[in-house]
């Protein structure tokens, strides 16, 4: 037995698979180096190599973590798992390249790609080759959100009617796609239609002037009665907040500080003259801290693709790009509601590429 450095729990040395898996990381920027650190400190994985077209990025990885690095794709077949942590405009081509060399487990950072067509092509190739493709929508595997989802599913607070999420920064593609998927996950219902108002891009984007990923206000209708609003505010002060309004109460999450606030409504009181609505604060001893730990998320993402669990399925990543595309399409039509399965929308927007990172 050993103690997993990230999760802090005793697990079998072989985890749930038979061998220690070798991991290759493509893209050695800040997120790629986080993956390298995660692999180096996880007892059930080992680094095969890092890859970046920048010699300086490769050297930084060597100096910091001591792993071998390359500037081309000639050696990717030596890895059991490949992580693609580059900008989104290269995700499809890199995925196709590593699959062609025989890799059958690939994690792609979100956003999955820059168009619906590219997402569909990646999924088709994965199906045809038997490749397990994950998109890192990491709130699906975050310990706090797993706990919150279980609380919502218990119906102690009733049914979700509206989720409001506001977040500062760039932009709907890079950050907003996280929250499109969080709504999808928490509501456990398909996204039916989207209305969008896209802001003018302020910029500049530190990843390059070619990337123009504005903020905006996105409304989402789910199958059933749940609704959601995402306010991605490029020059907003923040911090990011999540507010979930249900038929029996309200939940508020502050990821920056890790704080949460829960209020329940007394549904036995029928409001009327002399009968005001009654609320009470709700708490439990086992409420996890809501502050995210990126290294726990990355470790869980690796564990997810290495086993049969596979929570981070590519369909979730594609759905987020479909929401992004529908929001932009809606904005051009004065904010009208766009059905995600509307063929006129899909025919018009599926090949549109967004300048997102």
Q: What is the pLDDT of residue 357?
A: 85
* 308 vs 139, more confident: 139
Dump the DSSP string for 294-343: HHHHHHHHHHHHHSS---SBHHHHHHHHHHHHHHHHHHTTTT--EETT-H
**Percent of the chain residues topping a pLDDT of 70:** 95
Query: What is the model's pTM?
Result: 0.92
Per-residue pLDDT reduced to its tens digit, 41-63: 999 999 999 999 999 999 999 99
Q: What is the pLDDT of residue 18?
A: 54
Mean pLDDT of 307-326: 95
Number of neighbours of residue 76 by Cβ within 10 angstroms: 23
The number of distinct structural domains making up the chain is: 2
Residue 17 has pLDDT above 60, yes or no: no
Question: What is the C-alpha to C-alpha distance for residues 43 and 29, in angstroms, rounded to an integer?
Answer: 23
Q: What is the pLDDT of residue 103?
A: 95
Mean pLDDT of 1-23: 54
Helix 177-187 vs helix 143-153: crossing angle, to nearest 10: 40
Q: Give 272's DSSP letter.
A: B
Domain that residue 80 falls in: 2-137
Domain assignment of residue 20, yes or no? yes
Mean pLDDT of 324-340: 97
Q: What is the pLDDT of residue 3?
A: 37
117 with 230, same domain? Answer: no
Per-residue pLDDT reduced to its tens digit, 205-252: 888 889 999 999 999 999 999 999 999 999 999 999 999 999 999 999
Per-residue pLDDT reduced to its tens digit, 63-107: 999 999 999 988 777 899 999 999 999 999 999 999 999 999 999
CATH number, domain with residue 167? 3.30.360.10
145 with 260, same domain? Answer: yes
Nearest Cα neighbor of 108 from 100, 126, 117 is 126
Domain boundary among 137, 170, 190: 137
With beta carbons less than 8 A apart as the criterion, state whether 340 and 193 touch: yes
Domain assignment of residue 268, yes or no? yes
Per-residue pLDDT reduced to its tens digit, 117-164: 999 999 999 999 999 999 999 999 999 999 999 999 999 999 999 999
Domain boundary among 109, 137, 165: 137
128 with 155, same domain? Answer: no
């Amino acid at each position: 037995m050993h103690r997993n450095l990230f999760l802090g729990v005793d697990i079998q040395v072989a985890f749930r698979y038979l061998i220690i898996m070798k991991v290759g990381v493509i893209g050695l920027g800040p997120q790629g180096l986080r993956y390298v650190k995660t692999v180096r400190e996880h007892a059930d994985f080992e680094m095969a190599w890092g890859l970046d077209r920048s010699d300086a990025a490769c050297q930084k990885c060597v100096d910091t973590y001591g792993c071998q690095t390359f500037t081309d794709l000639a050696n990717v077949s030596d890895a059991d798992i490949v992580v693609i942590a580059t900008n989104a405009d290269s995700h499809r081509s890199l995925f196709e390249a590593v699959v062609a060399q025989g890799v059958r487990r690939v994690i792609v950072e979100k956003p999955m790609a820059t168009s619906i067509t590219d997402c569909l092509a990646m999924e088709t190739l994965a199906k045809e080759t038997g490749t397990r493709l994950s998109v890192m929508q990491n709130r699906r595997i975050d310990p706090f959100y797993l706990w919150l989802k279980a609380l919502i599913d218990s119906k102690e607070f009733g049914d979700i009617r509206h989720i409001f999420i506001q977040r500062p920064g760039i932009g709907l593609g890079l950050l907003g796609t996280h929250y499109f998927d969080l709504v999808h996950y928490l509501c456990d219902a398909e996204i039916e239609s989207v209305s969008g108002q896209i802001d003018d891009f302020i910029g500049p984007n530190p990843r390059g002037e070619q990337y123009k990923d504005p903020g905006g206000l996105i409304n989402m209708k789910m199958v059933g009665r749940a609704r959601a609003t995402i306010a991605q505010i490029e020059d907003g002060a923040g911090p990011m907040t999540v507010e979930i309004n249900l038929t029996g109460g309200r939940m508020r999450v502050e990821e920056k500080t890790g704080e949460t606030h829960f209020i329940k409504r007394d549904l036995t009181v029928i409001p009327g003259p002399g009968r005001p609505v009654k609320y009470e604060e709700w708490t439990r001893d086992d409420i996890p801290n809501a502050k995210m730990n990126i290294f726990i998320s990355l470790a869980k993402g690796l564990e997810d693709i290495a086993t049969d669990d596979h929570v981070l399925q590519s369909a979730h990543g594609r759905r987020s790009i479909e929401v992004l595309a529908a929001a932009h399409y809606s904005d051009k039509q004065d904010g009208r509601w766009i059905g995600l399965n509307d063929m006129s929308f899909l025919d018009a927007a599926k090949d549109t590429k967004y300048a997102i990172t």
